[in-house]
Structure 1
Amino acid sequence: MTDGQQTVRVVYTKYDGSLHWNQYATALGEDEHGVWLGCRAGNTAQRGFEPPITYDHAFVLLFPRDAWWTAVFNAAPARTEIYCDISTVPTWRDGVVTMVDLDLDVVRRRDGSLYIDDEDEFAEHRVRYGYPTEVVENAERAARSLMRSIGERAEPFAGGYREWLSLVQ
């Protein structure tokens, strides 16, 4: 527990079950978009079992219900404003949220540029891990939908996340 709020462990794995990005965050609340967690500047995260990295900025994470993606909304000075991981639908159990990272990422930089990242990694891992057709279709559909929503500045990507971000800055 931190400041009377629940601490949640965030765990991304790869399709083979190996540990990917993982960290702890503070539960902030829920709204129509999903569950919001927050991290203050100085928070750490690890990729697998590599040494932890320390963030120089605050950020909030969004875990929508029944969607094949998660989102990170970064405070300045981070160059990336919004970073969406295409993943399996997050599952919650005993203070841990877990999902499989499916490689594709939708990114909006602070300058407004928007793109899909890691399509090459998605293609490689699709073969290496044998992603089923349903997984591939859901991942590609989620990436297209996010490109549209973020590009059109639909909520929560228009700025509604800033209220949540203010809770950790």
Structure 2
Amino acid sequence: MTGRFGTVTPMRNVRVVYRKFDGKLHWHQWMRFLGEDQYGVWLGARKGSVSQRGDEPEITHKQAHVQLFPRDQWFTASFNDVPTRTLIYADITTPVTFGEDEVTMVDLDLDVIKRRDGTVLVDDEDEFAEHQVEYGYPADVIAAAQASCDRLVRAVVEDEPFLTVYKTYLDQVR
């Protein structure tokens, strides 16, 4: 199969790297390539996998999760297995850059969260406002980030892949 990563090998390791606008390392982890579809590239991690923020101590995940890295969109999305109360956690980011065995993007602070009970909220609006000044976000970046956030608030309750598509990928890492 030929896709965003060229000829892909299912279940190969891919490094996920989120940076802040100043280039500083943010969240990062290794995940397994699960597939690619019309929504983007899907990576997954089993319960017990680890991730790390910058050079802080690693954290161990208590549940399996999958992440979607869409093409040419201003977000990434995580879909969490039980027992976590957060079902979907969408980070507003710059469009993903796909490398040989790595995906990278800049975290733009805003997050759209869908809880398992159906509650949807936007998080870190204060951080987004602060970083616009601190990092000097250009006007087009601010506009694209806000538009993506506004669109996702509706999409996580109305549109695929946020309704059922992710479940097929989550089943692969349970």
Q: TM-score range by the shorter chain?
A: over 0.9
How far the C-alpha of 1:160 sits from its partner, in A, is 1.3
Does residue 45 of the first structure (1) align with residue 51 of the second (2)? yes
Q: Deviations over 1:12-71 (max 9, x none)?
A: 000000000000000000011100000000000000000000001000000011000000
What's 2:103 paired with? 97
Amino acid of the structure 1 residue aligned with 2:114: R
Return the alpha-carbon distance in structure 2 between the equivalents of residues 149 and 4 of structure 1.
28
Query: Secondary structure at 1:42's aligned position in 2?
Result: coil
Cα offset for 1:151? 2.7
C-alpha distance in 2, partners of 1:63/1:41? Answer: 20
Q: How far does the alpha carbon of each residue in 1:63-95 deviate from its partner, in whole angstroms, 9 at most, with x for none? A: 011000000000000110000000000001120
CA contact (8 A) 2:93 2:107 kept: yes
Residue 48 of structure 2 aligns to a residue in which SS? coil
Q: How does 1:148-159 map to 2 (within 5 A)?
A: 148-152=154-158, 154-159=159-164
* Correspondence for 2:148: 142
State, as a whole percentage, how many aligned pairs show the same letter: 54
2:27 alignment partner in structure 1 = 21
Residue number among 151, 156, 164 corresponding to 2:169 in the alignment? 164
Unaligned 5+ segments in structure 1 are none
In the TM superposition, residue 158 of structure 1 has moved relative to its aligned partner by 0.9
Structure 1 moving runs of 4+ over 3 Å: none
Partner of 2:3: none
Tell me how far apart the structure 1 counterparts of residues 57 and 85 of structure 2 sit (CA, whole Å): 23
AA at the equivalent of 2:167: R
